[in-house]
Amino acid sequence: MSIVTVQLGQCGNQIGHEVFNTICGDVHGTHGLCSKKENKSYHDACKERFFSEEESEVPVARAVLVDMEPKVISQTLSTAARSGSWKYDDGSHFCQKQGSGNNWANGYSVHGPRHKEVIMNLVQKEAEKCDRLGGFFTIMSMAGGTGSGLGAFVTQCLRDAFPTSFILNHVIWPYGTGEVIVQNYNSVLTLSHLYQSSDALLVHENDVIHKICAQRMNIKQISFRDVNQVIAHQLGSVFQPAYAAEGGSQYSRNPLGDLMETLVPHPEFKMLGLRNIPQMPENSLAYSTFSWPGLIKHLRQMLIANAKMEEGIDWQVRPPCLGSSVSSSHSTNKPLHFNTSIANLVILRGKDVHSVDLGSFQDPSLYTCWLNPQDSFNAWKTPRAFNKYEKSTSLVSNSQFLLKPLDNVVGKAWNMFASKAYIHQYTKFGIEEEDFLDGFTTLEQIISSYTNL
């Protein structure tokens, strides 16, 4: 099954490009420390998933590029073509000239309806190229105007046009101190709208990735390209082919469906966080070895303590004791800082994956009580190493990972909303105060739901 990627706005297009680059680099770069046969299966599965074979010599990414100004798409298309190993379909993009001005209302209420037909035609074309459509993967930032506003509108259109397809929104959380002054407003509007049409939101926070670049990758002068490459690596570690079932003979054909099934049992809980270890500079890879028990131990503690990377983990945090007399749905009984999960997915790639013991992730005390313990946890594996890492493991988690960031964004947005600052910029394009209030209400509900796990 194939995934159609929709790249929205500057951020969406810049990240999308790095994702395809990473995936391509992974497939062609190494033999993956596995058998030739395994490698070929992996290669074929990856190709079917992300690329279409056309008359051109290089694989063509299954993607639609959308932006309201031309420079980024133009650069993205040409950089990809210059790589010589893959490219975008020359016709699969749409742009305008004036941009969205960081204005969610402009993106959603003006550009959306105005360009709906053209954009959905491009999506339809890409969807038809797939033998079997596995769903949509949209990439956008919450902070700006196009990715956020037009992105929310397009997601709604995708849902309307493809009611039975899976839609996963990859959402970039902006830096806490300023990229865009109205970023918190844009975020509230984006998240509340996406929640209605999307199946799940997979979140990356710029602050977190920036720290990884500084402390794990040792990059001195961190650029957005560096940040995007880490994000692309993390996404690749989730979406490159893997076996979803123990003893499976084929790479999973339905990654988005599998993801939703394992991680999103209830429509009120759609916020997914992502962790990937180990992370290090490429030139250190040859000198580092890791053991699976070590990696699993660290990953589990990162989950429990809500650590963003593999250093500075708080090892004092422990799961609550099971069998306590008070009902476990009461959040006050949980130890402080303990991150409660609804469901988790661990993905293992590389040497000796079949020997890995994942029992510690199946501990019921990690989870809320309303799912069967065996349904709360899943694992995907492949012996094929990813992106030059001899061993690599990722965690996709539906847990309280994003509770604090969400609460922060809503708090700041509410603070600004109380003064009515900037509201006139939104009402100018048809988003009224009531629309903001609806957004706040939706998000406060989500915060409350996750808090009371």
Which residues are near other proteins by CB under 8 A?
A: 10, 14, 69, 71-72, 75, 96-103, 145, 175-182, 210, 213-214, 219-225, 227, 410-412, 414-416, 418-419, 421-422, 424-425, 440-441, 444-445, 447-448, 452
What three-state secondary structure class fits 313? Answer: coil
CB of 135 to other proteins, least distance (A): 29
CB of 429 to other proteins, least distance (A): 11
Measure CA of the first residue to CA of the last residue in the chain; give whole Å: 34
CB of 275 to other proteins, least distance (A): 22
Q: Toward other proteins, which CB reaches closer, 291 or 415?
A: 415
Q: How far is CA 437 from CA 40, 145, 198, 365, 441, in A?
A: 52, 19, 20, 36, 6
Residues 404/441, Cβ–Cβ less than 8 Å: no
Q: Toward other proteins, which CB reaches closer, 115 or 391?
A: 115
Nearest to 294, CA basis, from 170, 390, 388: 390
Residue 44: partners with Cβ closer than 8 Å, 6 or more residues away: none
Q: Toward other proteins, which CB reaches closer, 132 or 424?
A: 424
In the block, tokens 């769903």 appear at 135
Distance CA 437, CA 450 (A): 20
Q: Toward other proteins, which CB reaches closer, 254 or 425?
A: 425
Q: Toward other proteins, which CB reaches closer, 261 or 444?
A: 444
Burial class (CB in 10 A: 0-12, 13-18, 19+), 117: exposed
Q: Toward other proteins, which CB reaches closer, 284 or 427?
A: 427
CB of 178 to other proteins, least distance (A): 3
CB of 397 to other proteins, least distance (A): 24
Tokens standing for residue 258: 């599998």
Residue 257: partners with Cβ closer than 8 Å, 6 or more residues away: 1, 134, 135, 166
Q: Toward other proteins, which CB reaches closer, 288 or 452?
A: 452
Angle separating helix axes 183-197 and 151-161, nearest 10 degrees: 0
CB of 449 to other proteins, least distance (A): 9
Tokens standing for residue 403: 């509770």
Q: Toward other proteins, which CB reaches closer, 69 or 363?
A: 69
CB of 421 to other proteins, least distance (A): 4
Q: Toward other proteins, which CB reaches closer, 294 or 430?
A: 430
Q: Toward other proteins, which CB reaches closer, 79 or 83?
A: 79
CB of 10 to other proteins, least distance (A): 6
Look at phi and psi of residue 53 and say left if phi exceeds 0, alpha if psi is from -120 to 50, else beta.
Answer: beta
Residues 264/270, Cβ–Cβ less than 8 Å: yes
344 - beta bridge partners?
377, 397
Residue 270: partners with Cβ closer than 8 Å, 6 or more residues away: 195, 198, 199, 200, 201, 264, 398
CB of 434 to other proteins, least distance (A): 13
Q: Toward other proteins, which CB reaches closer, 144 or 273?
A: 144
Q: Starting at the edge strand that comes first in sequence, how are the strands of the sheet with 60-61 ordered?
A: 51-52, 60-61, 87-88
Neighbours of 43 (CB within 10 A): 16
Residues 78/13, Cβ–Cβ less than 8 Å: no
Q: Toward other proteins, which CB reaches closer, 360 or 449?
A: 449
Nearest to 352, CA basis, from 292, 413, 435: 292
Distance CA 255, CA 257 (A): 5
CB of 154 to other proteins, least distance (A): 20
Residues 208/309, Cβ–Cβ less than 8 Å: yes
CB of 108 to other proteins, least distance (A): 14
CB of 88 to other proteins, least distance (A): 17
